[in-house]
Amino acid sequence: MTLSFGLGLRTQHYNDFLNTKQPVDWLEVISDNYMVNGGKPLAMLDRIRADYPVTMHGVSMSIGSVKGLDQEYLKKLKALEQRIQPMWVSDHLCWGGVHGRKLHDLMPLPFTQEALEVVSRNIRHAQDFLQRPLVIENVSSYVEFKDSEMTEWDFLSEICNRTGCQLLLDINNIYVSAFNHGFSPFDFIDSVPSEQIRQFHLAGHQDNGDHLIDTHDHPVCHGVWELYEYALHRFGSVPTMIERDDNIPPLSELLEELETAKAIASKVLKIEGAA
């Protein structure tokens, strides 16, 4: 896998990318924002896509839905995928609606055999429809289910075994969940299958003292940088991006954070003797 560094494309930075070639290798777009017929956002994406490779990152597939995936959603997703030809397509290990209503949040799953069957079936459906592997991201969580039968990392590993999907490891989400639930984030990283890791997310969170909230509206903190360094030792050259979803700063500030990621990766891979 080739080491590369990207940013999430946000509307505040459209002109930055249109007017000047920026020092990023690729951009991640929120799929749901562009699954439309025409309009300014899609036109802007077409122009930016001409100069930057992109990946697609969804927030509404609801891969944990017991009723299966929304076929209309998949059709719109595939139309966008065919239009912009992303390097990969990702979504979250979560559910996001009930009784026909979307909650507009990434709700965690119980880590049970039953949930494993549901998620695996839905991933296989999505992969068959898209004709490509799906990349699944771990979400942050604030409650645990008493019925869970395995750890989150064992759940993710089994999903990969059953479906051949790949993983987007959100390093911040691992850090947040580990703090909230009292497990070791290093155990998480040590236990997921290295051959299935496709991408890293780096982001910030809100520290409320006795718990952390995954807000993605702060710079990456020291503990997440340390965990990223550990992940690089374990997995090697993995495409990495900075993700900011609120309190969007000037592009220059995100580029500075990306330079920090590059410096850490350069140090680790030099230690590792990797190219």
CATH of 5-272, one of 3.30.390.50, 3.20.20.150, 3.40.50.300, 3.40.50.1820: 3.20.20.150
Nearest to 200 by CA among 158, 162, 243: 243
Tell me the domain boundaries of the chain. 5-272
Nearest to 31 by CA among 74, 67, 69, 72: 74
How high is the mean pLDDT of the chain? 93
The mean pLDDT of 1-10, rounded to a whole number, is 93
In this model, does residue 271 exceed pLDDT 60?
no
pLDDT value of residue 143: 86
Nearest to 8 by CA among 177, 251, 186, 265: 251
C-alpha span between 182 and 163 (Å, rounded)? 29
The pTM for the full model equals 0.94
pLDDT value of residue 46: 96
- Mind listing the pLDDT tens digit for each residue in 103-122? 456 778 999 999 999 999 99
The mean pLDDT of 267-274, rounded to a whole number, is 69
In this model, does residue 275 exceed pLDDT 70?
no
**Which residue type is seen at 157?**
S
In this model, does residue 236 exceed pLDDT 70?
yes
